[in-house]
Amino acid sequence: MKMLATLVLAVSTFAFVGCEESAMDKRADEVRDTTQTQADQIRDASQNTAENVREGADNMSDSAENKADAIENVGEKKADRLEEVGENKADALEEIDN
């Protein structure tokens, strides 16, 4: 029984030590969080701008809707690119640590 308890304690200790994040892992998480926040801000801004265009004086025309859709698409693409760059940077930081 003592042997089993010792084994469980040893395995738990190794598992706990292995779960600690390194400085690079923490930095990678920070990069991911920052780029996700920035991407969300870009999406929100483009959606707000598009909504303002839709609600503007010329909202009865198809061109206003097309312009609003284009604004949203550009914002979405920009946010996606930012997320991709951030993810690549975070992955590179994690690779340095390994």
The confidence band for 25, taking pLDDT boundaries of 50, 70 and 90, is confident
Statement: residue 90 has pLDDT above 80: yes
How does the average pLDDT of the chain come out, rounded? 83
pLDDT of residue 18: 55
Q: How far is CA 14 from the centre of its chain?
A: 31
Domain boundaries, the chain: 22-97
**Angle of the 23-55 helix axis to the 62-97 helix axis, nearest 10:** 180
Q: How far is CA 74 from CA 65, 66, 71, 80, in A?
A: 14, 12, 5, 10
Q: What is the pTM of this model?
A: 0.68
pLDDT of residue 42: 95
State the first-to-last Cα distance of the chain, in angstroms, to the nearest integer: 37
What DSSP string runs through 62-96? HHHHHHHHHHHHHHHHHHHHHHHHHHHHHHHHHHH
**In this predicted model, what pLDDT tens digit does every residue of 58-73 receive, in sequence order?**
556 788 889 999 999 9
**In this predicted model, what pLDDT tens digit does every residue of 43-55 receive, in sequence order?**
999 999 999 988 8
pLDDT of residue 54: 84
